[in-house]
């Protein structure tokens, strides 16, 4: 066993009272876990005279990354949403003490399926794009319909608010820009001011917002079924249009697989709420600003040496340019250039 495998085995041995002879093998890093380190592994043990083997995932804090995640947030969201219709992995252990594996982590089930990479040419969904896109929007609608208080998620960011989510989220991302921006980006700041001058209406009700709901952040099986929605580190309470706009972003657009109208119809059917198309346009510009804040954090964490992942550096450079260019195109549509 490697050092990390040994560490996991030791942890499981100390935390599963009924288990003995705990072994961990097949540990492999999963490419794409940019905000947290993600590893798959197999754990085997004996329990009441019976041999047990499970395929599991370790999510460990990165030293620095795309977003500053609250350590227990994703674990708590998985726990709260279990059994509410949104496909998610089961979670088993949350450990905030760095003594075990150097940094906080949690352990969850390895779900069947694979992610579709929206950043490569060709069909990321092996010919199932349309049915996967329909599920994608339906699941987002299901999530929007859940009462965050009823599932115990009122401690999420904005969880106590009843309105004004747009303003709270703008404040949140502007603060992240302020912290990470080495060279001021006037286009992003101009878009921020436009968003404040032209606020959207409040949503019909507060919703659980995944925060990074997009192509690439879920698993699908060979028969075209979404088996798990992943990467909930940016989950908060807000306007459900935020997730829709993020899923539509042209950096990873779901409209590659299903026309916008069909996708929104699937969302409306699942959520029981209408989509305000004009407000959605506001959230699409917001998404581009939010993306710029995320890329700014990525660039800053690489530049500082706290994170040396190539995906982080490239996100900062390519993603930053893509979304500033997108902001400028959206502002041109809004008449900013005359």
CA distance 42 to 25: 5
Asked if 268 and 145 count as a contact pair (C-beta separation under 8 A), the reply is no
Instruction: For 123, list phi and psi in degrees, rounded to 5.
Output: -85, 115
Which is nearer to another protein, 187 or 280 (by Cβ)?
187
Question: Which two structure tokens, joined as six digits, stand for 34?
Answer: 């940019």
Least distance to another protein, CB of residue 148, Å: 35
CA distances (Å), origin 159, targets 9, 141, 156, 320, 323: 37, 19, 5, 29, 28
Q: What is the largest CA-CA distance in the chain?
A: 76
Asked if 216 and 231 count as a contact pair (C-beta separation under 8 A), the reply is no
Q: What is the binding site for another protein (CB under 8 A)?
A: 28-29, 31, 182-187, 189-190, 193, 197, 309-311, 313-314, 317-318, 321, 324-325, 328, 331-332, 336-338
Least distance to another protein, CB of residue 330, Å: 11
Least distance to another protein, CB of residue 111, Å: 20
Which is nearer to another protein, 14 or 334 (by Cβ)?
334
Least distance to another protein, CB of residue 320, Å: 9
CA distance 201 to 144: 17
Which is nearer to another protein, 96 or 317 (by Cβ)?
317
- DSSP assignment, residue 60? E
Least distance to another protein, CB of residue 291, Å: 14
Asked if 299 and 182 count as a contact pair (C-beta separation under 8 A), the reply is yes
Which is nearer to another protein, 156 or 299 (by Cβ)?
299
Strand partners, 51: 46
Instruction: For 259, list phi and psi in degrees, rounded to 5.
Output: -60, 150
Alpha helices by DSSP H, listed for 82-180, are 129-145, 165-180
Least distance to another protein, CB of residue 318, Å: 6
Which is nearer to another protein, 265 or 313 (by Cβ)?
313
Which is nearer to another protein, 142 or 311 (by Cβ)?
311
32 Ramachandran zone, left/alpha/beta (phi>0; psi -120 to 50) = left
Least distance to another protein, CB of residue 329, Å: 9
Which is nearer to another protein, 290 or 323 (by Cβ)?
323
């Amino acid at each position: 066993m490697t050092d990390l495998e040994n560490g996991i085995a030791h942890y499981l041995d100390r935390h599963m009272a009924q288990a003995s002879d705990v072994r961990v093998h097949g540990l492999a890093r999963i490419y794409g876990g940019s905000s947290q380190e993600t590893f798959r592994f197999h754990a085997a043990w004996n329990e009441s005279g019976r041999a047990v083997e499970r395929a599991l995932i370790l999510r460990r804090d990165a030293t620095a990354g795309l977003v500053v995640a609250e350590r227990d947030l994703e674990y708590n969201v998985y726990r709260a949403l279990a059994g509410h219709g949104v496909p998610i992995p089961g979670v088993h252990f949350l450990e905030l003490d760095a003594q075990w594996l150097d940094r906080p982590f949690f352990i969850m089930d390895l779900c069947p399926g694979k992610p579709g990479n929206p950043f490569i040419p060709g069909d990321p969904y092996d010919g199932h794009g349309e049915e996967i896109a329909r599920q994608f929007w339906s699941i987002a609608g299901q999530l929007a319909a859940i009462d965050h208080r009823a599932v115990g998620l009122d401690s999420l960011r904005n969880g106590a608010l009843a309105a004004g989510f747009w303003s709270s989220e703008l404040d949140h991302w502007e603060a992240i820009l302020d912290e990470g921006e080495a060279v001021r980006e006037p286009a992003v700041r101009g878009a921020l001011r436009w968003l404040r001058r032209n606020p959207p209406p409040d949503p019909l009700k507060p919703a659980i917002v995944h925060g990074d709901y997009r192509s690439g952040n879920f698993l699908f099986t060979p028969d075209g079924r979404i088996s798990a929605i992943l990467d909930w580190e940016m989950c908060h309470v807000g306007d459900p249009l935020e997730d829709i706009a993020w899923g539509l972003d042209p950096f990873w657009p779901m409209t590659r697989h299903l026309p916008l109208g069909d996708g929104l119809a699937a969302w409306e059917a699942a959520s029981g709420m209408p989509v305000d198309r004009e407000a959605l346009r506001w959230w699409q510009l917001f998404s581009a600003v939010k993306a710029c804040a995320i890329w700014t954090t990525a660039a800053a964490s690489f530049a500082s040496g706290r994170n040396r992942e190539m995906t982080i550096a490239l996100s900062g450079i390519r993603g930053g340019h893509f979304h500033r260019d997108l902001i400028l195109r959206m502002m041109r549509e809004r008449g900013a250039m005359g």
